[in-house]
Structure 1
């Protein structure tokens, strides 16, 4: 009997392998047939990715045989609803399918913590929180739910997960990484990839593509080696130089990519950073020799946004260097922000092939990889989105996944005399910039590239006269952003709300503006979540500026960072804002018990404050489901999160990571209490 079972198992395995081989052979024959039919113009078009905002005309998709479009942060349809996305992408797809060979577009987006560009989508905790859960199951569920919502809006590809290993808390992308630990990042990578790429049963097996990024060493750059100027912001570490030996690079930053390839990831994005002075986008050793040949990655290699532009030399030499290094698809993305026009890219790439600077064999390899991905996710069979699928966006099922993810990601760092969990029959005064600010809960990459701070009317109304003037708004933003304060943004915030241009914003104008520019209609702030969890009236007092703190009860201060991403978030001080610091000082003077919830994309410098706090929870950037924060605060869920990053005492220690020769953190890697 045992022998029979073994025979059956062997036969089953053979059939499985045979089936996979047969499918791959069918795919490869189909793709090869297409490649042989394609003209050089068609091949060059397939290697071109354009942000939809930068199209001169929709007809250019057909005219130039464009292979891919994307929506960068804030690149949304006029109707930024799930159905609006389906309609927009189908319109673009119709252009692609009108061409001679009818090769469909693949449309990509940064769905990095949910389908975060889409108003109404479920927005989950950023990776820093998921890393503190260290739970592959919840990572899988978060990414599977995200994949459902991406597919439901007609998109095909998410530029996620970020499997970086960040080593310096000052980096503006710290929160995009699961951990400073290579082991934790690697452990969560398989679930992150398969969560996105596994077949979606709700849509009959439809698939999307994931993108492991950024290859390689993006989290290991050295402070002050960044140089890009973005408006008033200088990138201090983002896109900088990673100074490591090859052995160190392989040990620290390569293992997550080995796991991603093992998981079957379809695409990998190259990083902006340099490795020992050489831009990754131009490194033949990293892309062709290491990634494609040594690691045998057979998927598609894509650049980051205008990534080839940072290679030394003129634009034509950038194209030649990057394509010969192994780049398959170039996120051009267009000329809106001063980068090269996609028509210029197309012209120069074609010219480079015709003159022999790029061999046709390299072009054919790139096209083969691009078409294989399109085939594998079913675009040739089912290229159009379906409006009726849009109902899956923001579903109650996905919202529950978000709530669970929030609960699992929170880290209890201090709990003097068991001040936590709070009791549902005790009086609590809630203060702080983050208590009723969904923008702070969500962080960057939410609706807009940099996210959007969403202070409520009450916190802005400094003199409590039920109207806002410009001085109140600018005063708030100055103290909330400190050195990152942007006067233009503050003035724009005010003018957009001052509908009648009379110099004052009424409550009605404030509400109307929020309706006209929706951010997260279904989001639940921490304040609203707590109010929803407490049945009795009069127990919760919202006093955002801590102006009327009576004796007795407990104060809950929700403080932290305003949203940012990439180099805009590079920050030498990473401390609390002067706004929140002033509020905390009032709390200390009151003599009441004080519980602090920190909303941040990294550990913040709090050494001078923490001795005054009875309770401390790191909530990171939990997203829209504030209910998960309330669940932990009130003991409906006992915290299980552990620090996936070391928490420094001061900036002189930075960068600080477990295993450093001089390791003396405020809270060590792996620390976390429970009830």
Structure 2
């Protein structure tokens, strides 16, 4: 899920899907409302008698057909609509009157106080209004649990996907996702906009840390995250420790061409993927095939970005939200996706034409549910008019609604619409944080270790420098409590890298700016890196972002590494940074990525409690101009190749 940015790309005549299909095969009116509001804990069956769609003994398909046959057009269009909670908070009866199918919390959209109990109470309150509608269809509540239940203060915050990709540990990815599902569903939401299975091909992209890596084979392996969230089969979805997963952003968002638009904006985010059908299938589409055919993912979120075919003469860029070839012909028909498509945040407004044209274009392309955070009534009015005018067929509406209802039945929402809080005490528990700590340790990539500088000894006198050594917000990155994330140690609980070091080392001096005296220390540990950012805002070329180290980080390396005999540098960042000139000044260099809430995991490998085993999930460039650089490129000459990583015993 995203926040809106203004940009448009022409959507022209769509092209036949034949080439891509072959390539993919290689990759394998007002609504009557009840005056009664259901009480939490009451089952829909008890409220509504013996209607077949409420009989959990019947097959899901039969229940869907029965319910669909009872619905008005207004009720169907309502099910296709998702609103942000903030748009209905002051008048929650809109959930009933509009028959909304879903609500979401955008990044930083949280209850007050931001506690597990308040979350559950909030979601249940919204649910009570959904159950007051004529057919009492429960809502789906969605949230961005992209590295843990990140909006919730106190949740377990795992490393972002780029770090998880460095672990190469598919079982660990599954386990982390299961913990995320448990903590999320215990607070109300039954649906998460995760995992991101994009393949990042240019580290200048501000969302590269949301990717597991640059190699589609690695990203495909990491789709075990879907299983961690949903369970091993759709029968697991109704469990109180599972959620509906969303693979995103379909497809090619990590493979866009870097450059500037006519207005001077950098367009790597929401940009254009210029590619052939064969290459698109091999690079960008591959993880989705596995997510659908192996893990039976329940929902897919199309990207803001566009695709322009290089093997089709005269091809123009087509936004994914309008791409019938890729949404319907390929994803639904060829690959066999039987879940539903959810648009990204207000994504259809970036299509050409007036709003009615945007709605018509996207729904006819295959979009099933529309994330219209603050204009749900306008969307409902527009889509209803398009159907009544015959420009959108009722069969397309019925297909979309059937897919949405299928998910709700499989999640058991008709039987148990309210939050099962059985696992609420496990949120941020020691057991969950232990898994996150292990994930942090496994994600650390040792790139240089001259003279066996690592592992450190607890008896050594350590000089630690750099703001990122003692900043939880910086080590968690974006999508943590707020959309863009925030620096500092007050937003959520956790352990900084410095705190982890101090739990083991007996003698530690910390100086954020390396201004404290360095004499008398055995080892200098300099922690460099980035401050938080998320989509678009983090693109290189936007807001001063660059892959180059800051002047402060360079100065800290110079001061400490020139004064202390042994110098270790840790890079806390969401992507590779240019360290070519600084690397010779160091004895050891570690890529720590964005480890999340458990800085103890970094200390574990620094002191040899766990071995270094992480390997680069992306190629490390020598200079910013070398991007994009990816394994398999002609004349491949990175500073560190894809898969590189030293180990310790």
Bin of the TM-score, shorter chain as denominator length: 0.7 to 0.9
Equivalent in the alignment of 1:311: 351
Equivalent in the alignment of 1:462: none
Equivalent in the alignment of 2:27: none
Task: Please tell me whether the aligned partners of residues 463 and 521 of structure 2 are also in contact (alpha carbons under 8 angstroms).
Answer: no
Task: Please tell me whether the aligned partners of residues 237 and 412 of structure 2 are also in contact (alpha carbons under 8 angstroms).
Answer: no
The CA distance in 1 between the partners of 2:255 and 2:344, in whole Å, is 17
Task: Please tell me whether the aligned partners of residues 227 and 235 of structure 1 are also in contact (alpha carbons under 8 angstroms).
Answer: no
The CA distance in 1 between the partners of 2:129 and 2:521, in whole Å, is 66
Task: Please tell me whether the aligned partners of residues 130 and 139 of structure 1 are also in contact (alpha carbons under 8 angstroms).
Answer: yes
Q: Shift in Å at residue 24 of structure 1? A: 10
Task: Please tell me whether the aligned partners of residues 125 and 406 of structure 1 are also in contact (alpha carbons under 8 angstroms).
Answer: yes
Q: Shift in Å at residue 589 of structure 1? A: 3.4
Q: How do 1:579-658 residues align onto structure 2 when only pairs under 5 Å count?
A: 579-658=552-631
Q: Shift in Å at residue 637 of structure 1? A: 0.6
The CA distance in 1 between the partners of 2:320 and 2:116, in whole Å, is 36
Q: How do 1:289-300 residues align onto structure 2 when only pairs under 5 Å count?
A: 289-300=329-340
Matched, 1:320 2:352: no
Matched, 1:376 2:410: yes
Question: Residues 457-506 of structure 1: CA distance to partner in whole angstroms, max 9, x if unpaired?
Answer: xxxxxxxxxxxxxxxxxxxxxxxxxxxxxxxxxxxxxxxxxxxxxxxxxx
Task: Please tell me whether the aligned partners of residues 642 and 671 of structure 1 are also in contact (alpha carbons under 8 angstroms).
Answer: yes
Check 1:593–1:652 CA distance in 2 against 1; reply closer, same or farther (3 A cut): same
Task: Please tell me whether the aligned partners of residues 235 and 568 of structure 1 are also in contact (alpha carbons under 8 angstroms).
Answer: no
Q: How do 1:68-467 residues align onto structure 2 when only pairs under 5 Å count?
A: 68-189=102-223, 191-198=224-231, 207-224=242-259, 234-262=265-293, 263-276=295-308, 277-334=317-374, 341-454=375-488
Check 1:64–1:235 CA distance in 2 against 1; reply closer, same or farther (3 A cut): farther
Question: Residues 110-169 of structure 1: CA distance to partner in whole angstroms, max 9, x if unpaired?
Answer: 100000110000000011011111111100010000000011111100100000011000
Check 1:140–1:226 CA distance in 2 against 1; reply closer, same or farther (3 A cut): farther
Q: Shift in Å at residue 207 of structure 1? A: 3.1
Which residue of 510, 531, 541 maps to 2:509?
Answer: 541
Q: Shift in Å at residue 108 of structure 1? A: 0.3
Which residue of 575, 589, 593 maps to 2:548?
Answer: 575
The CA distance in 1 between the partners of 2:502 and 2:73, in whole Å, is 62
The CA distance in 1 between the partners of 2:267 and 2:240, in whole Å, is 44
Unaligned runs of at least 5 residues, structure 2: 1-54, 309-316
Aligned residues: 577
The CA distance in 1 between the partners of 2:246 and 2:462, in whole Å, is 44
Q: Shift in Å at residue 398 of structure 1? A: 0.8
The CA distance in 1 between the partners of 2:492 and 2:424, in whole Å, is 17
Question: Residues 428-477 of structure 1: CA distance to partner in whole angstroms, max 9, x if unpaired?
Answer: 011002010001110100000000011x7xxxxxxxxxxxxxxxxxxxxx
Which residue of 497, 511, 519 maps to 1:550?
Answer: 519
Q: How do 1:13-92 residues align onto structure 2 when only pairs under 5 Å count?
A: 26-55=59-88, 57-92=91-126
Q: Shift in Å at residue 204 of structure 1? A: 5.5
Q: Shift in Å at residue 585 of structure 1? A: 2.1
Matched, 1:532 2:503: yes
The CA distance in 2 between the partners of 1:246 and 1:152, in whole Å, is 42
The CA distance in 1 between the partners of 2:138 and 2:610, in whole Å, is 47
Task: Please tell me whether the aligned partners of residues 270 and 301 of structure 1 are also in contact (alpha carbons under 8 angstroms).
Answer: yes
Equivalent in the alignment of 1:484: none
Task: Please tell me whether the aligned partners of residues 237 and 410 of structure 2 are also in contact (alpha carbons under 8 angstroms).
Answer: no
The CA distance in 1 between the partners of 2:547 and 2:365, in whole Å, is 37
Question: Residues 513-550 of structure 1: CA distance to partner in whole angstroms, max 9, x if unpaired?
Answer: x4xxxx112x000011111223x3xx111111111221
Task: Please tell me whether the aligned partners of residues 216 and 253 of structure 1 are also in contact (alpha carbons under 8 angstroms).
Answer: yes
Check 1:203–1:533 CA distance in 2 against 1; reply closer, same or farther (3 A cut): farther
Task: Please tell me whether the aligned partners of residues 433 and 579 of structure 1 are also in contact (alpha carbons under 8 angstroms).
Answer: no
Check 1:204–1:645 CA distance in 2 against 1; reply closer, same or farther (3 A cut): closer
The CA distance in 1 between the partners of 2:213 and 2:621, in whole Å, is 15
Task: Please tell me whether the aligned partners of residues 360 and 383 of structure 2 are also in contact (alpha carbons under 8 angstroms).
Answer: yes
Unaligned runs of at least 5 residues, structure 1: 1-21, 335-340, 457-513
The CA distance in 2 between the partners of 1:655 and 1:388, in whole Å, is 47
Question: What is the DSSP-based 3-state SS (H/G/I as helix, E as strand, rest coil) of the residue aligned with 1:143?
Answer: helix
Q: Shift in Å at residue 192 of structure 1? A: 0.9
The CA distance in 1 between the partners of 2:358 and 2:539, in whole Å, is 27
Task: Please tell me whether the aligned partners of residues 249 and 303 of structure 2 are also in contact (alpha carbons under 8 angstroms).
Answer: yes
Task: Please tell me whether the aligned partners of residues 524 and 561 of structure 2 are also in contact (alpha carbons under 8 angstroms).
Answer: no
Q: Shift in Å at residue 586 of structure 1? A: 1.5
Equivalent in the alignment of 1:476: none
